[in-house]
Structures are given as C-alpha cells and as structure tokens.
Chain A
C-alpha cells in the first residue's frame, strides 16, 4: 500500500477521481435536495423546521469523519513518516473545520425556534465547539511552525490527543442530561426516524461525504504541488546563490 502512497501516484490517481467524485456529489446532493424540499414531510412536532436537519446532521457527521481521517493520517505520519499522510492530514483540517462550523451554525438556527435559544452550554454543543477549536488550533500550528517535518510531527501528536473528543461528542447525549436530543439514526434498536425522512437524510449524508472526498483530493493535490513548488524554489535560489558566489571569486 505504501508503494501507491507516493506523490506522483496520488497526482495521477486524483486527476480522473476528482471529476468522478464531483459528478457523484452533484447528482446525490441534487436528488437529496429535491427529496428534502418536495418529498419529505414536515415533522409532527417541529413542522418545517425539521428541514434544517438534512444539512445539520450530515455536517456533524462529516465534522467528525474528517477528524477520523486526520487521525488515521496522523498515524501514517508518526509511524511511517510518510509525506502523503502529512499532506492528507493537513488538507482535511480546513474541511473538517468548515463542516463543524456549518453544524454549529445550522444547529444554532434550529435551536432558536425549537429550544428558544441560539446556544446553550450543553455537553453535545460544547464538545462540538471544542472540535472546531481543535481544528483551528491545528491549522494555526501548521501556519506557525516553518519546518514542514516538525510541523507534521507536532500536528500528528496534537491530532491524536484531540481524538479523545470524538467519543465524547458521540456519547455526550447518553452520558449527560442534555438539551440536545439523543441519537436517532445509529441506535441499537435501529433508526427512530420515519423512512420518508430517513432516506433524504441518508442521501444528503452520502452526498456530503462525496463532497468531502472531492474537496479532500483537490486539497491534497494542492498540498503536493505546494511542496513541489517550495522544493523547486529552494533549488532555484540555491543555484542562483551558487552562481552569485562564483561571480565573486577572483579571476584566475
């Protein structure tokens, strides 16, 4: 597997994979949005407001999924010191932050009409906010440390430390008495959502997952190109300096 995880192979792989994933994303999200607005019924308690669920829940899943991807890549960085693993980890952070931000904002806009408040320091909401802060801290870490290998190692360690927050987010609604509702899709007794609402939700979630995969591949490609550009720039500068030094040597 490591044989395939080299930058040239990744660039060759993502070239056809990006348009395929982008096409699937467009189709799934178009079908999903049609079902959300024209097929799925209003909720008997929440009314039309339940339509926020179709973006809020996939955004929450993707916020956590991106972190799992980053944690796997962090292991690749620490165990194999693989540059593609580092690129994958670094590229997933802004995407995870974006999905977590969307989750928090849409949750807040859903909370105001349903709970009467935009925000409450509830265990689920707070742990999700902590996830956003971890993402922002990791992005800042990569910006702060100039040496890429040191930055990769520090970010990988911090990512794995922050992994403890993922089960806290998942089980916060079971461990503590929260205003946020408990899990209603992935439960031991099966989904607690009626199928006419469950299918649009699952299609939107798969569409959002393909959106993440597409954007992640595009970001990894950018990261590989950025490193290639840095290397070539350093070589060009070094060559220029060598020529400059030679010109100051006394003529023989």
Chain B
C-alpha cells in the first residue's frame, strides 16, 4: 500500500482496534470484579437469582 494517505488508513484501523479492545477489556475486567465480589458474599455467578 504505497500511498500518500497510508497514515490516515493505518490511524483509522489502529484507533478502532484500541477502542474495541479497550471496551472488551473493560467489560471483562468488570465481570471478573463482580464475580469475585459475589463469590465473597457466598453467591456464585452460576447460582439462580431466586436462590441468591
């Protein structure tokens, strides 16, 4: 891709990748934190809500 606008194309894909991967990481870290907190209270994630 020998083109004067390569920087714009690469920047677009790089920013998109950072935004998407950042969102995925944030959601997964939040899930891990919630899971640990629930386990500490003795209510594992797989337990039914009406049991917890």
Binding site for B on A (CB under 8 A): 6-8, 11, 47-49, 51-52, 55-56, 59, 94-95, 98, 101-102, 105-106, 109-110, 112-113, 211, 215, 218-219, 221-222, 224-226, 228-229, 232-233, 236
Contacts and interface: CB of A to CB of B under 8 A. Distances in A.
Given A7-B49, A8-B49, A48-B1, A225 B13 contact: no
24 contacts: A8-B50, A48-B3, A48-B9, A49-B9, A52-B8, A55-B12, A55-B16, A56-B12, A102-B16, A102-B19, A109-B12, A113-B4, A113-B5, A215-B24, A215-B27, A218-B27, A218-B28, A219-B27, A222-B30, A222-B34, A226-B34, A229-B37, A232-B41, A232-B43
Contact of B31 (A6, A218, A228): A218
B28 to A, nearest CB: 7
Interface residues of B, number: 31
Interface in B1-37: 1, 3-6, 8-9, 11-13, 15-16, 19-20, 23-24, 27-28, 30-31, 34-35, 37
Given A8-B50, A101-B19, A228-B52, 9 more contacts: A52-B9, A98-B23, A102-B20, A106-B15, A106-B16, A219-B27, A221-B31, A226-B34, A232-B38
Contacts, number: 86
B34 A229 contact: yes
A76 to B, nearest CB: 18
A59 B23 CA distance: 14
Interface of B: 1, 3-6, 8-9, 11-13, 15-16, 19-20, 23-24, 27-28, 30-31, 34-35, 37-38, 41, 43, 45, 48-50, 52
Contacts of B34: 222, 225-226, 229
A52 B13 CA distance: 8
B48 A8 contact: yes
A226 B41 CA distance: 13
Q: Chain A contact residues: over half helix, strand or loop, or mixed?
A: helix
Which of B23, B31, B50, B52 has the largest number of chain A CB atoms within 10 A? B23
B30 A48 contact: no
Given A219-B27, A229-B34, A49 B16 contact: no
A238 B27 CA distance: 30
B9 A51 contact: yes
The 3 closest A-B pairs by CB, nearest first: A225-B34, A48-B3, A106-B12
A47 B15 contact: no
